[in-house]
Structure formats: structure tokens, C-alpha cells
Copies of this chain bind each other. A is one copy, B any other.
Amino acid sequence: MVKVAVLGYGTVGSGIVEVLKTNQELIEKRVGEKIDVKYVLDLREFPGDPYEDLIVHDVDVIMNDPEVSIVCEAMGGIGAAYQFTKMALEKGKNVCTPNKAMVAEYGPKLMKLARDNGCNYLFEASCGGGIPIIRPLQTALLQEKIVAIKGILNGTTNYILTRMEKEGADFDAVLKDAQALGYAEANPEADVEGHDACRKIAILSSLAYGNTVNYKDVYTEGITKITVEDFAYAKKLGATIKLLGMSQEVDGNYYAMVSPFMLKNDSPLYSVNDVMNAILVTGNTLGDTMYYGAGAGKLPTASAVVADVIECAMKQGQLIPCTWNEGDLSLGQMENDKRHFFVRAKSELSQIESVFGKVEAVDAGIDGEMGFVTEVMSEKEFASKAEALGSVVSRIRFEN
């Protein structure tokens, strides 16, 4: 019998209890041992809840119970959750969490603490919610040198962009509606400004390339400036606009960023819509593989945490290897990162071509401006040409 404690009985915490209870029999059969929730830590009472007798208010009850070998941290934040995570790991208890903020901030430190205490710190649900992505990176892709990761990593922004595209609606209007429907938070900044995707791409990149990508080093641009007109141009180009967290290795330099990108309809990410997420991973011999699913939500996220719980239960007393090492990965200068750019400018084609050289012009019928796609150039080169042209309304990076 493996005993689990869940810290926090909110959406994900209660989901973890639900998944473990719903599939208990099947899990027992596969693991060869029963996994049971012994405690749920929460400051609140839950009268009438089927598991109200599991609720405890004192974390020490959990920490001092040697029977509890796995702790699911579903509190969120990096305050008390950090203290409790450290306490559990110091006691040799495995910790499983969907807490991306924690992993992005303290991942390597907590993994070391776990190793030093003969236990594990696992975080499958921290990136891509229910999508198995960390486990494939740690098992099925070990033979691959990963050269790029490109992901739709945030459900809220993907929902907003999908509706803007389909309905020709404004960002503000769709955001408001998304808030009313519960798809966006009252304070939507972490999502719409890309901070959430930033932490996720930092975590995935650290796992893929082997050293820590500090999320603070990742250039991050949100979707608040994307307009209906941008989608009109995208449509003309057979493209759409997605917020991507992406990183790649180019000639030994690693680049990472979060930014809206135009994607052509031959990209497997093109048709990932609404709240769904997907992560495209490119390996040097395997090529592209993509992992798709619900990037958030109670049960999908909880399911991924339970996958971690099961791995701990099946490997009791073992240290689970991880490709994320303690060194830091320094990112290349953003200004040297190269790609096509989509640009809207208040100039004639001849003026544009005199500055940018050959471009692919695109007319979306918007008065007084024209759209075009540049040749591949560095961010620096683009910035200098845009300044020289002097009439750029907006630009969106172009992917593939």
C-alpha cells in the first residue's frame, strides 16, 4: 500500500483525489500495489465532501507520518508551497506537482534536494497540462539530440486567438467573454502577456537541452496587440496566428522566446484550436513529433500528476533519472535569431522593397497600408530596416 498526501484541495488537488479514486482498481492492477490518499491538506473545511475525513490543517501531520511516501503539491505559488515541498523532500518523500512557477524558479534546486534525500521531484503536469510531454522527453526521446521545441502552451490565449480568427472579433471583446466563461482569469496578465508560456518553455527547454534555461532570460511578448486586421492578412497567406513558446539550437547557439507567430497551414500546430495545447519536438534523427491534448483543466492536469505518483510508486527507493542538469544554459543574443517577418506598413511596395529587398506582398484590403513577408533575416537586421522604412504599423514573427 502506497500512501499519498495532497497539499491543497482546490481544482487540481481535488482532481488528483478524484483520478486516484476513480481508477484505483486499475491503477492497483498496473502498479501491483494499492495507492491511497491518506491526507488532504487545506486550511478550509469541506463539509459534505466525500473525502472530508481526509482533510487536515496541519502540514506536520503529513510530514511526520512515515507512511506517506508521496506528496502532491497542488497549492500553487512559490510561498508556502515551496516551504512544504522542501520539508517533504527533506523527509525523503517524493513530491509530484503541476506547479510551473515553482519548477521554473526552483526546479534544479528541488531536484538536487530530492536526490540528496533519496527521493524524486516530478512535474509532468507543469507543462502542457494533461499532455504527456515530460515523460516522453525522459524516456522515448533519450536517443535524440533535441534541436527545437515549439509549443502552443497556454490554453487561454489559444482560445482567444481561435475565436478572434473564427469570429473576426476584437481581442478585448473575446477576452471579456473568455473571462465570463471561465476560460480567462479576472487578472489575465499571466496568460495574455505570455508569462505562463514563458515558464513552460523554460522548463521544456531545460529538459531538452540538459541545462537550466532561466525563464527570466526568455524574451516574452504576449498577444494583446494582435488585431482582427492581422488575422485578415494571415488568412490571405494561408496562415493563422498562434502564441508559441519556442526554443531551438542554431549553429551551437540556443534561442528561446515566447511570441505570437504566423504559422502556415502545413504546420501541425496550425489546427490546434480553442483551449487545446500541443508541443512539436524536433530531434536530430527522428525529425518532428507532436504531442497534443488538454493543456489545462481539473482532470487532465490531475491525471498527469497521478502519472508522476504512479512512477514514484513503481520505483520506490529509486532515483528517477532526469536530463535536466544543474548547469545553466546561456541563450544566444536574441538580435541574432533569424526568421521571416510579417509586416504591415504605410508605404508603397517600391519603398518597402528599396529597404527590405524582395518581399512577398499581401493585400488584405486595408486602406493606407500594405502587408508583406520578408526574406529570412536576423531580429537586429529587421529592427534596423523597420526603422529605416519608418512606416511600420506592426510586425508578427513568421514560423517556417
Q: Which residues of A contact B (CB under 8 A)?
A: 18-20, 22-23, 26-27, 30-32, 124, 130-132, 135-136, 139-145, 265-266, 268, 270-273, 276, 278, 283-294, 297, 299-300, 302-304, 306-307, 309-311, 314, 321, 323
In the assembled complex, which residues on chain B have CB atoms less than 8 Å from the CB atom of A321? 30, 32, 314
The answer to whether A310 and B143 touch across the interface, beta carbons within 8 angstroms, is yes
What 8 A-B pairs have minimum CB-CB distances, sorted nearest first?
A: A132-B140, A289-B293, A290-B292, A143-B306, A286-B303, A135-B140, A271-B271, A285-B299
User: Please, how many angstroms separate the alpha-carbon atoms of A156 and B303 in the complex?
Assistant: 35
24 contacts between A and B (CB under 8 A): A19-B143, A23-B144, A26-B145, A27-B142, A30-B142, A132-B136, A132-B141, A142-B307, A142-B310, A143-B303, A143-B309, A268-B292, A270-B271, A278-B290, A283-B303, A285-B299, A286-B300, A287-B293, A287-B294, A287-B297, A288-B294, A290-B292, A292-B292, A314-B321
A290 contact from B18, B23, B293, B323, Cβ within 8 A? B293
| Selected contact of A285 from candidates B286, B303, B310, CB within 8 Å | B303
Residue in B286, B297, B300 whose beta carbon sits within 8 Å of that of A299 in the complex:
B286
Q: Are B131 and A289 in contact (CB under 8 A)?
A: yes
Q: Is the CB of A145 within 8 A of B303?
A: no
Measured CB to CB, the closest approach of chain B to A55, in angstroms, equals: 22
Number of copies: 2
Write out the residue numbers on chain B whose beta carbons fall within 8 Å of the beta carbon of A268.
271-272, 276, 292
Q: Which residues of B contact A311 (CB under 8 A)?
A: 139
Kindly report which residue of chain B lies nearest to residue A22, judged by CB atoms. B285
Residues of B within 8 A of A303 (CB): 143-144, 283, 285-286
User: Is B23 touching A130 in the complex (CB atoms < 8 A)?
Assistant: no
- In chain B, what residue has the closest Cβ to A267? B271
Q: Which of B23, B145, B276, B293 contacts A143 (CB 8 A)?
A: B23
Contact of A135 among B124, B130, B139, B299 (CB under 8 A): B139
Complex Cα spacing A267 to B266, Å: 16
Tell me which residues across on chain B come within 8 A of A286, comparing CB atoms: 130, 293-294, 299-300, 303-304
Contact between B130 and A289, CB atoms less than 8 A apart: yes
Interface centre among A31, A268, A297, A311 (most CB of B within 10 A): A268
Nearest-neighbor residue (CB-CB) of A137 within chain B: B132
Q: Which residue of chain B has its CB nearest to the CB of A301?
A: B286
Q: Chain B CB within 10 Å — which of A265, A271, A273, A302 has the most?
A: A271
Closest to A29 in B: B210
How long is the Cα–Cα vector from A323 to B283 in the complex, in angstroms? 28
B285 near A23 with CB under 8 A, answer: yes
Bound together, the chains give a CA A140 to CA B285 distance in angstroms of: 23
Residues of B within 8 A of A26 (CB): 145
A320 CB to nearest chain B CB (Å): 11
A143 neighbours in B (Cβ, 8 Å): 19-20, 23, 27, 303, 306-307, 309-310
Instruction: Give the nearest-CB partner of A276 in chain B.
Output: B268
